[in-house]
């Protein structure tokens, strides 16, 4: 039996790059239901059969967490965590990468949802910016000096969640 890469969707790309000289990749590591992951060069597409969202991201993003759960605020929640590629750190000391977390809750009270997740990420009203990257979104930024990590959250609500 051939190799199986234990990174969500990585087998799609491995199959694209097969040269016939090494063991073939037979299976693609896929998330469990309700999630669906597909690959169309050069993008991966992730969606949920239980909600109205879909993510599109480049092949070099690594999805390392896909979860469907009830959060401690009682809301049914979909969460996807992915990492980008890496680049030289801004202080020229080593490498850095971004981690992107997508969180969705169907039919949620958007204001309550936002307060909950801002609290989970230790951001608050004083961190709101004047320049949201998405129209009709609210954007928050902060810096955690103990972890040397920049945080940015964009909240976007709609009727469906």
The residue among 105, 130, 149 that closes a domain is 105
Q: Is pLDDT of 95 > 90?
A: no
83 plus 159 within the same structural domain: no
The residue among 105, 122, 142 that closes a domain is 105
Which pLDDT band holds residue 2 (cuts at 50, 70, 90)? Answer: very low
Q: Is pLDDT of 27 > 60?
A: yes
75 plus 147 within the same structural domain: no
Mapped onto helix, strand or coil, the DSSP state of residue 117 is helix
C-alpha 157/C-alpha 112 separation (Å) is: 11
C-alpha 38/C-alpha 153 separation (Å) is: 26
100 plus 111 within the same structural domain: no
60 plus 91 within the same structural domain: yes
88 plus 115 within the same structural domain: no
Domain tally, the chain:
2
71 plus 111 within the same structural domain: no
Structure tokens, 141: 């930024």
**pTM of the full structure:** 0.83
32 plus 92 within the same structural domain: yes
Mean pLDDT of the chain: 86
80 plus 32 within the same structural domain: yes
100 plus 35 within the same structural domain: yes
Q: Average pLDDT in the 101-122 region?
A: 94
Specify the pLDDT at position 128: 97
Which phi-psi region, left, alpha or beta, contains residue 44 (left: φ > 0; alpha: ψ -120 to 50)? beta
Domain range enclosing 140:
107-161
Give burial (CB, 10 Å; 0-12/13-18/19+) of 12: buried
């Amino acid at each position: 039996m051939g190799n199986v890469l234990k990174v969500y969707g990585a087998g799609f790309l491995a199959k694209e790059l097969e040269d016939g000289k090494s063991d073939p990749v037979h299976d693609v590591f896929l998330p469990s239901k309700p999630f669906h992951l597909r690959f169309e060069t050069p993008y991966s597409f992730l969606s949920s059969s239980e909600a109205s969202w879909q993510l599109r991201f480049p092949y070099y993003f690594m999805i390392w967490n896909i979860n469907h759960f009830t959060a401690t605020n009682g809301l049914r929640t979909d969460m996807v965590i992915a990492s980008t590629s890496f680049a030289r750190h801004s202080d020229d000391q080593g490498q850095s990468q971004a981690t992107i977390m997508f969180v969705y809750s169907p039919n949620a009270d958007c204001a309550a949802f936002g307060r909950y997740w801002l609290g989970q990420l230790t951001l608050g009203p004083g961190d709101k910016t004047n320049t949201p990257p998405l129209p009709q979104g609210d954007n928050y930024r902060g810096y955690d000096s103990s972890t040397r990590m920049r945080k940015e959250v964009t909240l976007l609500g709609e009727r469906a969640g």
